[in-house]
Structure 1
């Protein structure tokens, strides 16, 4: 699938959930947003850049620091430019995580707040000069509609180092403003490989890995075929193994994003973990 085709899927998703002709009622004032943006501008000299993704408009706004650290013009950086800059190995996984983030954020299960609940991820982006670099991206709710839907996310990036093929997305979600510990900071900055190794040592049993690999090879595989492949009783497979694998994936990657075995399998495949 080409970047344009993947972008079209993302845009279709946004158009479905954020109709362009719908009237939105923002809760966050421009004054509060401006204060946060000015704070972030003061950090640009420290290998950081940011922009806001306006979901109903499918537009990047308030872009700052891209010219300095990513090699692109702040004023002309579009949604498609950002999508193309993501390493192709990770685009599908990021699309899935974005969709899942939308459903979790707008499920009503959390009392979302401006610049509070964070999703942190390592992401490789293509510099304008042609070299992939690894960034830590933190996603914050930047505008919230009175209905409770997040309508804009602030994307804040910190340059870590040159990208290595062994790097994973290392997804983490914080539901409050918990301070990141020194050990976490060191791991993210690449001073050690704790997070990468954690994702390499998967929590799944031998049978569970067989099931996941089967889904990777054939997403339409039936429970009967899986039962024959693994030797596990059909009822046990349906009632136990599926839910156990999903729970292990949620616990291991610290996210509730996974809903089905296929999502787990696709994520592991996209990250080269299985």
Structure 2
């Protein structure tokens, strides 16, 4: 059996990957800074809903734009670094995290894949240790935040949704009702949704942004969404139709509006 890497060893592995795949720090960044900042502002609105996030710079191995960490993990946002994050991963999840993360980053930094800002989404469970010692279970979404003109990943953003106390759950997805009974139809949906989110990018970038808005502000109108993203109301209506077409393709129970889709995806930590 291979030895599980410590946080220090894993950080060094990431650094070696970066040095090998990005030997020179000079490259053209493809995502405009104003687009990144706009996305961060939208994400900040969700912190009060048991969410936190940070950006990982793969060239420096430093964290940027940490928000919500102090509120939900107990560590001051400005002092929370990549090494600290790696140390907080529960021992039962470390091996799976290390293998999947290094393999995925290797692929995304190779330049062989066609990648896009905030579109490709990697979804896992993550048991993290709070500063006071207990572990919490989170849904983790990792998305592309910056890449260069050679299609190499430069930065990714980790978004976490707190699910609750960690009780030994494996690196997997579960679905139950309020009695703790497994709902097989929802379990099947979650597994299909994760595969599609990871492999086929079910929703477009703009559709995901609209869904996230509804997930945390379900009172918003079409006009509110149009104003928030500086698009026409007719465009919002078109996005609604596309969201419903895609979501209804996955469900036996049909949705009647985009807000219903957003609520279900939020409940499963997918937004």
Length-normalised TM-score, structure 1 = 0.62
Specify whether residues 81 and 54 from structure 1 end up closer, same or farther in structure 2 by C-alpha distance, changes over 3 A only. same
Counterpart for residue 21 of structure 2 = 17
CA distance in 2, matches of 1:45, 1:163: 20
Q: Say whether the 8 Å CA contact 2:117–2:144 is kept in structure 1.
A: yes
Aligned-pair distance for 1:107? 5.3
CA distance in 2, matches of 1:57, 1:156: 20
Counterpart for residue 150 of structure 1 = 153
Aligned-pair distance for 1:99? 1.9
1:27 matches 2:52:
no
Q: Say whether the 8 Å CA contact 1:50–1:66 is kept in structure 2.
A: yes
1:161 matches 2:174:
no
CA distance in 2, matches of 1:186, 1:101: 24
Structure 2 gaps of 5+ residues are 174-193, 204-242, 251-260
Counterpart for residue 92 of structure 1 = 95
Q: How many residues align?
A: 188
1:65 matches 2:90:
no
Structure 1 gaps of 5+ residues are 190-274
Specify whether residues 110 and 57 from structure 1 end up closer, same or farther in structure 2 by C-alpha distance, changes over 3 A only. same
Aligned-pair distance for 1:115? 0.6
Specify whether residues 156 and 7 from structure 1 end up closer, same or farther in structure 2 by C-alpha distance, changes over 3 A only. same
Specify whether residues 105 and 147 from structure 1 end up closer, same or farther in structure 2 by C-alpha distance, changes over 3 A only. same
CA distance in 1, matches of 2:170, 2:95: 16
Larger mean Cα displacement after TM superposition, 105-114 or 22-31: 105-114
Aligned-pair distance for 1:89? 2.1
Specify whether residues 80 and 121 from structure 1 end up closer, same or farther in structure 2 by C-alpha distance, changes over 3 A only. same
Q: Say whether the 8 Å CA contact 2:14–2:61 is kept in structure 1.
A: no
Task: Provide Cα deviations, 1:77-123, integer angstroms capped at 9, x if missing partner.
Answer: 11100110111222222121112212333455643111111011111
CA distance in 1, matches of 2:126, 2:107: 21
Question: Secondary structure, in 3 states, of the residue corresponding to 1:28?
Answer: coil
Q: Say whether the 8 Å CA contact 2:96–2:171 is kept in structure 1.
A: no
Counterpart for residue 40 of structure 2 = 37
Larger Cα-atom Rg: 1
Counterpart for residue 11 of structure 2 = 7
Task: Provide Cα deviations, 1:177-220, integer angstroms capped at 9, x if missing partner.
Answer: 4377779759846xxxxxxxxxxxxxxxxxxxxxxxxxxxxxxx
Task: Provide Cα deviations, 1:145-165, integer angstroms capped at 9, x if missing partner.
Answer: 011001000111100011121
Counterpart for residue 124 of structure 1 = 127
- Over the residues paired in the alignment, what is the CA RMSD in angstroms? 2.5
CA distance in 2, matches of 1:12, 1:108: 17
Q: Say whether the 8 Å CA contact 2:21–2:109 is kept in structure 1.
A: no
